[in-house]
C-alpha cells in the first residue's frame, strides 16, 4: 500500500490545488442551508422581498462559486489520477523487466496482466474519486453537525446519536468488504489465466477435440468469479438500506420535535428547514462516504497486489564484484563442479557438472528429455544462478561481468522460438541495437532464411503473427537464430533450435555459423547434428556421463552407443 502511494509524491501541487478547491465547495455547501434559514426567517416569514433578494443573490453567488470550484477540481483530479496510473504501469513494467526467471515463476502471467489492467484502473478511479469527494464527505459530516448546533442545539442533538452509530457500522462494512474484494480479484486472475491458456492453445484444443473440456474449465472459473462478486456486492448493497433507514428515522424525529418547538415558540420554521437541510446533506455525505470507503477497500486490495510486485527482491542482479567494463573477449567456458536446483524444488537437477569448452569450439549436448540440458544452458547467461560450484568465461567467474556485458556477449536461442508482433525485419533487428538493413540481411542469410523471406509478399517488411503471415515452425526457428546471429556473439547457444530443419538446411546453417568462429553450444536430439560438432557432451539425470568426439564416445559411452544405434540401426560401423 505505502509503496504504491509513495508514487503520489510528484503530484503534491495538483493534489494540494484539488483539495483547496474541495474546501471551497465544502464551505459553500455548509453555508447554503444557513442562508436558506435566514431567507425564510427574515424574508418569507416577514414577507420582506428585499431580504429574499439579498439572501437569494448571496446563495446564487455561492452556488456558482461551488460550480466553478467543482469543474477545476475535476480537471486536477483527472490529471493526477491519470498521471499516477501511467507512472504505476511504467514502474510495474520496469520491475517485471528486471525479474529473474525465479521471480517470474512466482507470478502466473495472468496475475501480472490483472495487475496492469484491473488493479491499476481500480487505483486510478479511487484516486479520482478521492480527490473529488473523499475529504469533502467526512468534512461535510463534521461541518454539517457543527452548523446544525449553531442553528439549534436541541434539534442538533440527534446527530450525536446517529452519526457515530453510522460511522462505526461503516468501518465494520469496510473491514469485511476489503477481504471479499481481494477474493474477487483472485477470481479475476483465474478467469484471465484460463482465457489466456485457451487463446494460446486454440489449435491444440481443436486438434484434440477438447472444446467441451475447456468450456467446462472456463465455466467453472467464470461461475466462481460471478458467485464471489455476487456475495460481495450483496453484502455491500445490504448496508445501504440500513444507512438510509437510520437517517430517515432521524429526519422524522427532527420534524416531529421541531414542530412542537415551533408551536411552543422556541424555534423558527427557518431553523427547522436549515436543520433538515443539514441532515439531508450529512446523510448524503455518509452514503457518499460508504461508496468511497468501498471503492477504497477495493483499491486497498489492488494497491497491496501491485505493491507485492514492486517490492519483490530481484534475486539476479549484478554481483558486487562485477567489473563495469569487463566484456567477453574469446568465449572460453568452464563449468567447475556446478550443481543447480530450481528455487521451487528441493532436489538438484544438475550435479557435479565439470567441463571446459575452448574458445571457438563447437560442443553438442545430447541426453534424454528431462536430463537437465536446458537447465545447464540457462546458467551461462545467468538466467538462474548456480547453487554450488562456479562457471567461468575467459577464465573469469561469470559473476565478475555485469549482466549487461555477460548477456551482450551471448546469443541465446531458446527451445521454443518466440516472435514479437511487427515485421520480420523488426524481429531480426531486435537482437542488436541500431541494426542496419545489411546486418539484418547478413544474419538472415547465415540463418538460411533470406531466400524464404524474399519470396514473401512484403519480403523483410512482411508482418508476422496475428494479422500477418503465419510462419512454419522451421521458419520461426531460423528467424530466431538470425536474431541471435545479428549480435555476432562470442558464445552462441542453440537449445534444440534446429530440430524443425531438414538435414541439408541444417548443415548449411551450421557451416555458416562456423565462419563466425564463435564458441557454440548446441543441444540436439539428432546424432547426425552432434557428429558435426568438435566434441559431444552426454548428459544423463543431471550429471555429465561422458564427453569426447563422436568416435571416442562410440567406444567409451554405452548410452551414446545406444542412442546412435537407435537412430542409425545396429549396423552402424562402431569405432573400436
Ligand X SMILES: Nc1ncnc2c1ncn2[C@@H]1O[C@H](COP(=O)(O)OP(=O)(O)OP(=O)(O)O)[C@@H](O)[C@H]1O
Residues of this chain that interact with ligand X (CB under 6 A) are 105, 342, 344-345, 349, 367, 369-375, 415
CB of 475 to ligand X, least distance (A): 21
Q: What one-character-per-residue DSSP string does 111-155 give?
A: HHHHIIIIIHHHHHHHHHHIIIIITHHHHHHHHHHHHHHHH-HHH
Q: Which is nearer to ligand X, 322 or 494 (CB)?
A: 494
CB of 342 to ligand X, least distance (A): 4
Residue 502's Cβ-count burial label (10 Å; 0-12, 13-18, 19+) is: exposed
Dist CA 48 CA 39 (whole Å): 9
CB of 91 to ligand X, least distance (A): 26
> Among residues 152 and 371, whose Cβ is nearest to ligand X?
371
Contacts 24+ apart (CB under 8 A), 418-422: 418/480, 419/464, 419/465, 419/471, 419/476, 419/479, 419/480, 420/465, 421/463, 421/464, 421/465, 421/466, 422/463, 422/464, 422/465
Q: Smallest distance from the beta carbon of 502 to ligand X, in angstroms?
A: 21
Q: Which is nearer to ligand X, 126 or 371 (CB)?
A: 371
**Nearest one of 487, 480, 349, 336 to 398, comparing CA atoms:** 336
Helix H or strand E segment including 397: strand 396-397
The 8-class DSSP code of residue 40 comes to I
Give the DSSP H or E segment for 438: helix 437-446
Q: How far is the CB of 212 from ligand X (least distance, A)?
A: 29
Task: Return the number of the residue (343 or 397) whose C-beta is nearest ligand X.
Answer: 343
User: Which CB, 254 or 545, lies closer to ligand X?
Assistant: 545
To 5 degrees, how large is the angle CA 510–CA 497–CA 197?
A: 165
Q: Which of 123, 25, 11 is nearest to 73 (CA)?
A: 25
Put residue 524 in one of left, alpha, beta given phi > 0 → left and psi -120 to 50 → alpha.
beta
Pick between residue 82 and residue 314 the one whose CB is nearest to ligand X.
314
Q: Rounded to an integer, what distance in angstroms lies between the CA atom of residue 373 and that of residue 365?
A: 7
Smallest gap from Cβ 428 to ligand X, in A, equals 25
**Size of the chain, expressed as the number of residues it contains:** 576
Contact 312, 9 (CB under 8 A): no
Q: How far is the CB of 108 from ligand X (least distance, A)?
A: 13
The least distance separating ligand X from the CB of residue 563, rounded to whole angstroms, comes to 13
CB closer to ligand X, 344 vs 395? 344
Contact 229, 184 (CB under 8 A): yes
Q: How far is the CB of 284 from ligand X (least distance, A)?
A: 55
- Taking the least distance from each CB to ligand X, the nearer of 363 and 444 is 363
* Between 14 and 474, CB nearer to ligand X: 474
Q: Which is nearer to ligand X, 232 or 371 (CB)?
A: 371
- Please work out, in degrees rounded to the nearest 5, the angle formed at the alpha carbon of residue 227 by the alpha carbons of 222 and 230: 125
Q: What is the closest distance, in whole angstroms, from the C-beta atom of residue 340 to ligand X in the complex? A: 9
Strand 350-357 vs strand 333-340: parallel, antiparallel, or unpaired? antiparallel
Q: State which residue, 472 or 541, has the beta carbon closest to ligand X.
A: 541
C-alpha cell at 310: 514492486
Give the three cell numbers for residue 12: 503534491
DSSP 363: E
The span from the CA of 394 to the CA of 334, in Å, is: 8
- Of 263 and 345, nearer to ligand X (C-beta) is 345
Closest separation in Å from C-beta 345 to ligand X: 5
Q: Which is nearer to ligand X, 388 or 426 (CB)?
A: 388
**Among candidate residues 113, 73, 75, 88, the one with its CA nearest the CA of residue 5:** 88
Q: Closest approach of Cβ 486 to ligand X, in Å?
A: 25
Residue 88 or 523: which CB sits closer to ligand X? 523
Q: Which of 416, 396, 405, 367 is nearest to 540 (CA)?
A: 367
75-78: list long-range contacts, CB under 8 Å, 24+ apart: 76/14, 76/15, 76/17, 76/18, 76/21, 76/131, 77/18, 77/127, 77/128, 77/131, 77/132, 78/128
- Give the C-alpha separation, 498 to 509, whole Å: 9
**Which residue is listed with cell 566434441?**
535
Shortest separation between residue 499's beta carbon and ligand X, angstroms: 10
Report in angstroms how near the CB of residue 526 gets to ligand X at its nearest: 12
Amino acid at each position: 500500500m505505502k509503496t504504491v502511494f509513495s508514487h503520489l509524491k510528484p503530484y503534491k501541487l495538483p493534489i494540494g490545488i484539488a483539495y483547496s478547491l474541495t474546501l471551497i465547495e465544502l464551505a459553500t455547501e455548509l453555508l447554503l442551508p444557513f442562508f436558506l434559514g435566514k431567507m425564510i426567517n427574515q424574508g418569507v416569514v416577514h414577507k420582506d422581498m428585499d431580504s429574499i433578494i439579498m439572501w437569494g443573490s448571496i446563495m446564487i453567488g455561492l452556488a456558482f462559486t461551488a460550480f466553478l470550484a467543482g469543474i477545476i477540481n475535476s480537471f486536477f483530479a483527472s490529471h493526477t489520477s491519470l498521471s499516477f496510473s501511467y507512472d504505476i504501469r511504467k514502474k510495474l513494467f520496469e520491475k517485471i523487466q528486471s525479474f529473474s526467471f525465479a521471480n517470474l515463476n512466482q507470478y502466473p502471467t495472468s496475475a501480472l496482466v490483472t495487475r496492469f489492467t484491473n488493479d491499476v484502473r481500480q487505483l486510478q478511479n479511487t484516486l479520482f474519486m478521492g480527490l473529488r469527494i473523499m475529504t469533502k464527505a467526512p468534512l461535510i459530516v463534521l461541518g454539517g453537525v457543527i452548523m446544525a448546533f449553531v442553528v439549534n442545539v436541541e434539534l442538533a442533538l440527534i446527530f450525536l446519536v446517529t452519526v457515530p452509530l453510522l460511522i462505526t457500522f461503516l468501518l465494520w462494512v469496510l473491514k469485511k468488504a476489503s477481504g471479499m474484494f481481494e477474493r474477487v480479484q483472485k477470481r479475476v486472475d483465474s478467469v484471465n489465466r484460463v482465457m489466456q491458456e485457451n487463446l494460446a492453445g486454440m489449435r491444440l484444443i481443436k486438434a484434440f477435440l477438447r472444446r467441451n473440456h475447456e468450456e467446462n474449465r472456463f465455466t467453472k472459473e467464470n461461475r466462481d468469479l460471478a458467485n464471489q462478486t455476487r456475495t460481495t456486492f450483496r453484502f455491500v448493497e445490504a448496508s445501504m438500506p440500513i444507512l438510509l433507514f437510520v437517517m430517515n428515522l432521524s429526519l422524522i424525529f427532527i420534524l416531529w420535535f421541531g414542530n412542537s418547538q415551533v408551536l411552543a415558540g422556541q424555534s423558527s420554521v427557518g431553523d427547522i428547514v436549515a436543520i433538515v437541510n443539514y441532515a439531508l446533506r450529512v446523510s448524503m455525505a455518509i452514503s457518499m462516504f460508504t461508496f468511497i470507503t468501498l471503492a477504497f477497500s477495493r483499491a486497498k486490495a489492488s494497491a497491496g497486489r501491485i505493491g507485492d510486485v514492486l517490492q519483490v527482491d530481484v534475486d539476479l542482479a549484478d554481483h558486487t564484484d562485477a567489473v563495469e567494463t569487463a566484456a567477453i573477449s574469446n568465449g572460453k567456458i568452464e563449468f567447475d563442479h556446478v550443481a543447480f536446483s530450481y528455487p521451487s524444488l528441493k532436489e538438484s537437477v544438475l550435479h557435479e557438472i565439470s567441463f571446459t569448452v575452448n574458445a571457438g569450439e563447437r560442443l553438442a549436448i545430447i541426453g534424454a528429455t528431462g536430463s537437465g540440458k536446458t537447465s545447464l544452458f540457462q546458467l551461462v547467461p545467468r538466467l538462474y544462478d548456480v547453487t554450488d560450484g562456479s562457471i567461468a568465461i575467459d577464465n573469469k567467474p561469470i559473476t565478475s561481468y555485469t549482466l549487461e556485458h555477460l548477456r551482450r556477449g551471448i546469443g541465446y536461442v531458446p527451445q521454443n522460438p518466440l516472435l514479437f508482433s511487427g515485421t520480420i525485419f523488426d524481429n531480426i533487428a531486435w537482437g542488436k541495437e541500431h541494426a542496419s538493413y545489411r546486418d539484418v540481411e547478413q544474419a538472415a542469410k547465415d540463418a538460411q532464411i533470406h531466400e524464404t523471406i524474399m519470396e514473401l509478399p512484403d519480403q523483410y517488411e512482411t508482418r508476422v503473427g496475428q494479422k500477418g503471415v503465419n510462419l512454419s515452425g522451421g521458419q520461426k526457428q531460423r528467424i530466431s537464430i538470425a536474431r541471435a546471429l545479428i549480435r555476432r556473439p562470442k558464445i552462441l547457444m542453440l537449445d534444440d533450435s534446429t530440430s524443425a530443419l531438414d538435414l541439408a538446411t541444417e548443415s548449411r546453417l551450421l557451416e555458416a555459423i562456423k565462419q563466425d568462429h564463435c564458441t557454440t553450444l548446441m543441444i540436439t536430439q539428432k546424432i547426425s547434428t552432434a557428429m558435426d560438432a568438435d566434441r559431444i557432451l552426454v548428459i544423463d539425470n543431471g550429471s555429465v556421463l561422458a564427453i569426447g568426439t563422436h568416435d571416442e564416445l562410440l567406444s567409451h559411452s554405452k548410452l551414446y552407443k545406444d542412442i546412435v544405434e537407435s537412430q542409425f540401426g545396429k549396423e552402424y560401423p562402431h569405432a573400436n
